Copies of this chain bind each other. A is one copy, B any other.
Amino acid sequence: MAYIKRVESVFEIIAESNRRAILGLLVSSQQSVGQIERRLRMTQPTVSKHLRVLREAGLVESTVDAQRRLYRLNPEPLQEVDAWLAPFRHFWSAHVDALERHLDRMAQINPPAKKKPKAAKARPVPNRARPKGAAR
């Protein structure tokens, strides 16, 4: 409607779990809207809507194949996230097994639910910069 388009940051885009799921699907190969719809158990308009957001953010690209549209990944914008993350990596830099835990989660691509549990709690980490006079 308005002429000015709401420019969303990549961070806002991947904040949505369904969109993350879609991106995750496209990692392996391109998919049609219908495939995504079925695999992620989302309604067709919902998929299209998310794809639109992803498309406008440059995270996916589409090709017309007759009646269907094939969507493929374009993860370049994710580099911004990767870059933002950089300074924080120095903190845990030691060893990360989180990646493996992730891949498991990734295998069962199916997070259509609105809220997911998740429980990562804080294990004290090499504390740089501690408070000085914090007694009592």
Q: Do B96 and A83 touch across chains, with their CB atoms under 8 A apart?
A: yes
Q: Which residues of B contact A81 (CB under 8 A)?
A: 81, 85
Whether a CB of chain B sits under 8 angstroms from the CB of A24 is: yes
Q: Do A88 and B96 touch across chains, with their CB atoms under 8 A apart?
A: no
A22 to chain B, nearest CB (A): 13
Partner of A7 from the list B20, B24, B117, B121 (CB cut-off 8 Å) is B117
Q: Do A82 and B80 touch across chains, with their CB atoms under 8 A apart?
A: no
Q: Do A86 and B115 touch across chains, with their CB atoms under 8 A apart?
A: no
Q: Do A92 and B63 touch across chains, with their CB atoms under 8 A apart?
A: no
Q: Which residues of B contact A15 (CB under 8 A)?
A: 9, 11-12, 14-15
A34 to chain B, nearest CB (A): 15
Interface mask (A99-136 → B, CB under 8 Å = 1, otherwise 0):
10111001000000001111011110101011111101
Q: Known pairs A64-B136, A86-B102, A87-B106. 9 more at Cβ < 8 A?
A: A7-B116, A9-B17, A72-B127, A76-B91, A76-B122, A80-B120, A81-B81, A83-B98, A85-B85
